[in-house]
Each structure stands twice: as C-alpha cells, then as structure tokens.
Chains A and B, each alone.
Chain A
Amino acid sequence: MSSDLHSDQARAAREAELRDREVPVVEPGHDFASVTEKISALVLTRKTPRFWWVGFAFGFLLLQLLFVAIANLLFRGIGVWGPNVPVGWGMDIINFVWWIGIGHAGTLISAILLLLRQDWRTSINRFAEAMTLFAVACALFYPIFHTGRPWLSFYWLFPYPNTMGVWPNFRSPLIWDVFAVSTYATVSALFWYVGLIPDFATLRDRARSKKFAVVYGMLAMGWRGSAKHWHNYETAYLLLAGLATPLVISVHTVVSFDFAVGIIPGWHATIFPPYFVAGAIYAGFAMVLTLSIPLRKFYGLEDFITMRHLENMAKVMLATGLIVAYGYMMESFMAWYSANPYEKFMIVNRMTGPYAHMYWALIVCNVIAPNTLWIKSLRTNVPYLFFMSLVVSVGMWLERYVIIVTSLHRDFLPSSWGMYSGTFYDWSAFIGTIGLFITLLFLFIRFLPVISIFEMRTLLPAAEIPDEAVPAPRPGETHP
C-alpha cells in the first residue's frame, strides 16, 4: 500500500548504497531522531547565526538597487538602458535568459531524478527547488520591465475579451513565453510546496512558540502523517513530478524560440532548443553547487550533502557542458555548410569582430574549463568545484551576450550596423535582481528546512523494512 512504494524507495536507496559504499548519501551514525533534530534545529531552535545576518543584509542592500533601477526606468523610459536600433535587446533579455536557465536545475533534480529513482537527489532537491522559484522570480522582472510601456505590457500580453475587440498575436514567440514561463512558475511552486507539507508538520509539532506552531500548522494543512495522507501525498507528488518533467524541457525550448523564430543570422538556427535546454541545466547545476557548498559548510551539513552529491553534480555539469560545446561547434559548422553569406559573416564577426573577446571568454568558460572535471581529484576538490561553478555561471551569461548582441549589431544591411554596451542602469538592474535572489534565499534557509527531513529519514538504514515484518516507525510521527 502506501508504504510499498515507500519501502521500494528505501530498498532502491539501500541498493544504491551497496553499489558504491565509499561515499554514502548520509554519513553513518544517524537515526531518525538525529536527522530530524539536526535539520529542524536550523529553523526552530538554533540561534540565527551571524553569517546569516551578514548575508541577508548584503542581499537586501543589493535589492534596494533594484528598486532604484525600476523607479528610474519607469520615470524616464527604457532609454536609460543600452538598447538601440540595430541592437534592440541587450542585458535585459540576456539576464532574463540567464535567470530562466538557472531556474532549471531545481525542477530537473526534483522531478526527473525522482522519477529516475536517484535517491542522492533528496538532500539537495529542497533548496534546488527554492532556487528555481527565486531564479524564475528574478527572470520575470525583465520581460515586463524591458518593454517601452510596462504598465500595459503586463496585461496586454494575456488573452482576455477586451473592449478593443483584439487578441494577442498567437504567432509570436513572446506570447508562447508568457504561457511557458507562467506555467513553469506555477508548477514549480506547487511541487515545492507539496514537498514541504510533511516537514511543515514536523516543524509544527516541534515548534517552541505557539506563534510558529500556528503558522507552520496552517502551512501543513492539517497533516497528520496517516496512511491516507501518505498515500495521497505520494500520488500527488508523483503526478506533479510527471507534470513538471516535460516543463523542464519545454520552457527553455520556448525561450530559445524567441531567437530561433527570428530571421537574424545567429538566431535563426534549429539547434537552439536542445542546446538551450542543455545550457540551462548546465547553468542550473552550477548555481546549485555555488549555493550548496557554502551552505553545507556554514550549517555543517556535510553529513547530508556529501561528496557524492557534489561529484554527481560535477558529472552532470561536465555532460551538459559537452552538449553546449557541441552546440557552439554546430553553429560554426552550419555557418560554413549553409554557404549563406550572412551566416558566414556572422560567425566570423563573432570570432574576430568588435565583440570577439566576449566570444573567446565564453569558449574558455563554457568549453575548456569544465573539461578539467574529467579528473577525479579536481572533481572531488570542493574549493575547485565552487570556483568552477562560478566560471560556468559567468560563461553562460557571456553565451547569451554573444547570441543576442553580436548577432544583432551587424545583421543584413551594413548601413544600419551599430554597437551596443550596457549602461550604468543596465548593470544596476542586473545586480538588483541578484540582490532579490540572495534575499529570498536567505529568508528561505532561515524559515524553512533546507533539506527534506522525511525524505532523508527514508535513506537511513533503519528505514529498511525486513519483508512483512513489523512496519518501520512511520516517518512523520513525532518522537516524544
């Protein structure tokens, strides 16, 4: 019944562990109590550490810059940013695609790896999902505010029976974006919340103050850990996972259509969807590493986020990095193979034109550097992994810069060629969104369990069920 699937998971976990003993997903010496205690303590009992205050203050400060940027933008016009007539999109869309890309790892880890029974995911999926939500929130800022008249664009893009008797243009990739991104945001949010419910219950029961108890209690929606609850829970979680999986692919595919549907040399390429998706996962995992490494350090979660997790993520980065590299290769190849003068010029201009330094920096960050991860000693070197994750994030930002700016700045008629560079306010908006991201993230690690408590418990040897024997103490029950 409900525990079947559950114990299946446990068994899978055990087998997985048997496969490679050297690095377990949970360090030995933990029982249900210690796991629950250790994770929930972060939120409930432990005093808010100084570094949290520092980090939160830092993020909040940057967030203020975002507000300045927005006010300035609305007051004076999109012209305070860099775009011009050959280059109609600049850092606005670059950052949008970059954030959306980052927003991919979460759902991928939670949904796809769940379906693939990759138990090692359990200790990172919670904040990977959180990261997804926050990244999408940052991304959503751009499509609205990069338009000339944001106060209209945020509702004219939706189809509704208006008094003008006109509909949006369903042929436009931007409309597809509206649906793709909003769906993705909704489903990810649901998925994340559903995953949290049992832990909310745990927190509710362990809460010291009535106040917290009430809040967590409402969020827990009356979870009592009954068999029925678990049954519904598992079903819902699986369903959502199934629903989220195609979205992981679809969102960035649709985002890539923004370019692929255009006729601009450097945009008009059929390879865009796969290589954008790969790029997104690439960037996503890089970001998960960037976040998880400090997190495990400061909160002493090395037991739960083990070297195994880090190494697996490094492997995923290596794999997706190679796919992306293939994408770059094919772009150049097709430019030559198509014998299209515009395509040819575009790629030559990328490599030798005024923005060549961007292109080669991108190649170094995204193609050359990640290949060092073939080496196990580097792959298991935590500081190096952290550094590498940053390199990849930068590389992916450069990729969008190259695709958008160098393609646009010299298209068909030499008479209208131009140059682009971001202005002060372009940068403040970008840094501002980073501030938003950090702020949300710190609120999250302060008030919610960063690691799924009950799922961790299923990984413990004790969760192992001797066939048809007394049922293992059901997770979710609280310990006196």
Chain B
Amino acid sequence: MSQIFHHSTNTVSRVSIFGALFVIAAALWLTLQFSRSPYATGEGLVRSQPVPFSHQHHVGGMGIDCRYCHTSVEISASAGMPPTKTCMNCHSQIWATSAMLEPVRESFRTDKSIEWNRVHDLPDFAYFAHASHVNRGIGCSTCHGRVDRMPLMAQAASLQMEWCLDCHRNPAKYVRPQDQVFNAAWEPGPDHDGGRLAREYDLKPSTACSTCHR
C-alpha cells in the first residue's frame, strides 16, 4: 500500500499544532492593543472647524483666561461654549474685516449659530461634571492637554474608562494647587506634593458606577 503522506508531514503538523497557540495568543494581544490605539480612541485627533479658532493664539499668546469663554465651567456640569457675541466683543474691532472671521460675523448678522465640531466627546451614558473637577484642584490641561499650544483643538486623551479610573483611583497623581487649575502651562514643580494636596482638598473621588453612569 502506497504512502499517503510525505514524511515531512510529521514536522509540518508538529510545527502547526505548536504554532497555533502563538497565533491565537498574538491575535488576542493585537486586539487589546488595537482597542487602545489612538486610531480607535481618537486620541490626538484634530477636527476641522468652521472657524480655525486657535487656542494657542488666544490662550498661549494673549493669555485669555479659560473662563472668559467657558463661563459655566465652575458652576455647572457643562463648561459652556461661548456665544458668537463673546467672539464679537473683540472681533467687532480687531480683525473686524478678516475673511477668516466671516463665519463669525455672518452668524452675528444672521443670528444663526456657528456649528463647531465636538472634539472631546464622551458616550451619552457617561456624565461628566466640570464644576466638580475644577473646584477640586483638577486642572483643565489634565484632561484637555496643553491647549495653549494647540493651533486647532485636538483630543488630548483616550477618554476611555480606564483612563478616567486611573485618576479616580489615585487623584494625588494629577491634583494641582487650586490657583493653578486654569493655568494650561502648569507643571508639577520639585516641591509639588500631590498626596498633601489631595488630603488638603479632601479628595476622595468615588469609583462607584453611579458617579458617572445613571
């Protein structure tokens, strides 16, 4: 009776059985890595805007305080987006004729809102409260990054749940002096002691689900 298989078949089969394990493991590992990659999370993603508003220029350059535009950040869950009026406060005089700002003037003329593209977008079942954070020594740049260096707004963090939990489980890593909350350029100095601040501000961020999901 003739041979059905070439003798190399043994080796082949051994190797493939052995290799299968690694292939499966690698596939799983890739999936996990991918779900955290900027591609999936949108981290670092820059969205085009109807008006190329530059935080770099307004915050970094002119040193305008966050709260000048995001007025409700200290008292409400929502930081608040500036109405066209706020832009026009200055731009009725400065760059009053610049073509770049035409959409703003048009909005003001026609009373139609400017439609910005949302950059930091949490899922609808996650409820974030700005006031609860900025009043407890968590700075804007902790989540939004160095906006003072962003010509166009970019998503600074992955915004994934494990990212939120990282801080909620250990706030000392991220807390800063209350008076530095709106300073985008703030960096922890040599004498910075997060643990002490966390105690001082009595920071016990809850990791209970209902803190954000309800």
Which positions in A face B, CB cutoff 8 Å? 160-166, 204-205, 210, 213-214, 217-218, 221-222
Q: How far is the CB of A470 from chain B (nearest CB, A)?
A: 26
A160's partner among B13, B32, B162 (CB-CB below 8 A) is B32
CB within 8 Å: A-B pair count? 34
Contact A165–B162 (Cβ < 8 Å) = yes
Known: A204-B4, A217-B4. A164 touches B9 (CB 8 A): no
What does the 1/0 interface line of B145-179 toward A look like (CB < 8 Å)? Answer: 00000000000001011100110000000000000
Of the candidates A163, A166, A205, A222, the one whose C-beta lies within 8 Å of that of B35 is A163
How many chain B residues touch A (Cβ–Cβ < 8 Å)? 16
Does B47 reach chain A (CB closer than 8 Å)? no
CB distance from A137 to the nearest CB of B (A): 21
B4 touches A164 (CB 8 A): no
Least Cβ distance of B38 to chain A in Å?
Answer: 13
6 shortest A-B CB distances, which residue pairs? A165-B162, A164-B161, A163-B160, A165-B165, A217-B4, A213-B4
Chain B residues in 8 Å Cβ range of A213: 4
- Which residue on chain A has the smallest CB distance to residue B162? A165
Query: B13 contacts which of A163, A205, A210, A221 (Cβ < 8 Å)?
Result: A221
A214 touches B4 (CB 8 A): yes
Interface centre among A160, A161, A163 (most CB of B within 10 A): A163
Pick the contact of B162 from A164, A205, A210 — CB < 8 Å? A164
Residue pair A163, B4 in contact (C-beta under 8 Å):
no
A221 to B162, CA, bound (A): 46
In the bound complex, CA of A166 to CA of B158 (Å):
17
Whole-angstrom distance between the Cβ of A376 and the nearest chain B Cβ: 50
The chain A residue sitting closest to B36, CB to CB, is A163
Q: Which of B1-49 contact A (CB under 8 A)?
A: 1, 4-5, 9-10, 13, 28, 32, 35-36
- Whole-angstrom distance between the Cβ of B160 and the nearest chain A Cβ: 4
User: How far apart are the CA atoms of A163 and B32 in the complex, in Å?
Assistant: 8
Bound-state CA distance A164–B165 (Å) is 9
Query: With A163-B162, A222-B9 given, is the CB distance from A210 to B4 under 8 Å?
Result: yes
What residues on B are CB-neighbors of A205 within 8 Å? 1
Cβ contact within 8 Å between A217 and B13: no
In the assembled complex, the CB of B37 is this many whole angstroms from the nearest CB of chain A, namely 11
- CA–CA, A214 to B13, complex, Å? 14
CA distance A214 to B5 in the complex (A): 8
Report the bound CA distance from A195 to B6 in whole Å. 25
Chain A: minimal CB distance from B155 (Å): 15
Consensus secondary structure, chain A interface: loop
By a CB distance below 8 angstroms, the chain A residues around B5 are 214, 217, 222
Give A214 to B2 CA distance when docked, in angstroms: 12
**21 A-B residue contacts at CB 8 Å?**
A160-B32, A162-B32, A162-B35, A163-B36, A163-B160, A163-B162, A164-B160, A164-B161, A165-B162, A165-B165, A205-B1, A210-B4, A213-B4, A214-B5, A217-B4, A217-B5, A218-B13, A221-B13, A222-B5, A222-B9, A222-B10
**Nearest-CB distance from B205 to chain A (Å)?**
14
A431 to B10, CA, bound (A): 44
Q: Which residues of A contact B32 (CB under 8 A)?
A: 160-162
Q: Which residues of A contact B162 (CB under 8 A)?
A: 162-165
Bound-complex Cα distance A205 to B158 (A): 60
Q: How many angstroms between the C-alpha atoms of A160 and B27 in the bound complex?
A: 14
Cα–Cα, bound, A233→B184 (Å): 69
B160 neighbours in A (Cβ, 8 Å):
163-164
Chain A residues whose CB sits within 8 angstroms of the CB of B1 once the complex forms? 205
Across the interface, which residues of A come within 8 angstroms of B13, CB to CB?
218, 221-222
A205–chain B nearest beta-carbon distance, Å? 7
CA distance A418 to B9 in the complex (A): 63
Which residues does chain B contribute within 8 Å of A218, judged by CB atoms? 13
A151 CB, nearest partner CB in chain B, Å: 16
With A210-B4, A213-B4, A217-B4 as contacts: A163 and B161 at CB distance below 8 Å: yes
Interface contacts beyond A162-B35, A165-B166, A204-B4: sample of 18 additional A-B pairs, CB < 8 Å, sorted by A: A160-B32, A161-B32, A162-B32, A162-B162, A163-B36, A164-B161, A165-B162, A165-B165, A205-B1, A210-B4, A213-B4, A214-B4, A214-B5, A221-B13, A222-B5, A222-B9, A222-B10, A222-B13
Q: Which residues from chain B contact A217 at a C-beta distance below 8 Å?
A: 4-5
Instruction: List, in ascending order, chain B residues with CB within 8 A of A164's CB.
Output: 160-162
Shortest CB-to-CB span from A422 to chain B, Å, is: 33
Complex alpha-carbon distance, A57 and B41, angstroms: 49
A467→B87 CA distance, assembly (Å): 104
Closest Cβ of chain A to B171, distance in Å, is 16
Residues facing A in B73-114 (CB within 8 A) are none
B28 partner residues in chain A, CB cutoff 8 A: 160
CB neighbours (8 Å) of B158 from chain A are 163
Once bound together, how far apart are the Cα atoms of A165 and B162, in whole Å?
5
Chain A residues within an 8 Å CB radius of B165: 165
User: Of all chain A residues, which has the CB nearest B17?
Assistant: A221
Contacts of B36 in A (CB 8 A): 163
Q: How far is the CB of A288 from chain B (nearest CB, A)?
A: 32
> Which residue on chain A has the smallest CB distance to residue B165?
A165
Question: Which B residues are in CB contact (< 8 Å) with A204?
Answer: 4
Among B4, B10, B13, B161, max chain A CB count under 10 A is at B4
Give the docked Cα–Cα distance between A218 and B12 (Å): 12
The interface centre, meaning the residue of B5, B28, B165 with most chain A CB atoms within 10 A of its CB, is B5
Residues on B with C-beta less than 8 A from A161 are 32
Q: How far is the CA of A165 from the CA of B167 in the complex (A)?
A: 12
Closest to B164 in A: A165
Residue from B10, B158, B161, B166 whose CB has the most chain A CB atoms within 10 Å: B161
Chain B residue nearest to A161 (CB atoms) is: B32
Q: Select from chain B the residue with minimum beta-carbon distance to A210.
A: B4
Tell me how far the C-beta of A186 lies from the nearest C-beta in chain B, rounded to whole angstroms. 14
Least Cβ–Cβ distance between B41 and chain A, in angstroms: 8
Chain A residues positioned under 8 Å from B166 (CB to CB) = 165
Per the 8 Å Cβ criterion, residues 112-168 of B in contact with A are: 158, 160-162, 165-166
CA distance A105 to B192 in the complex (A): 67
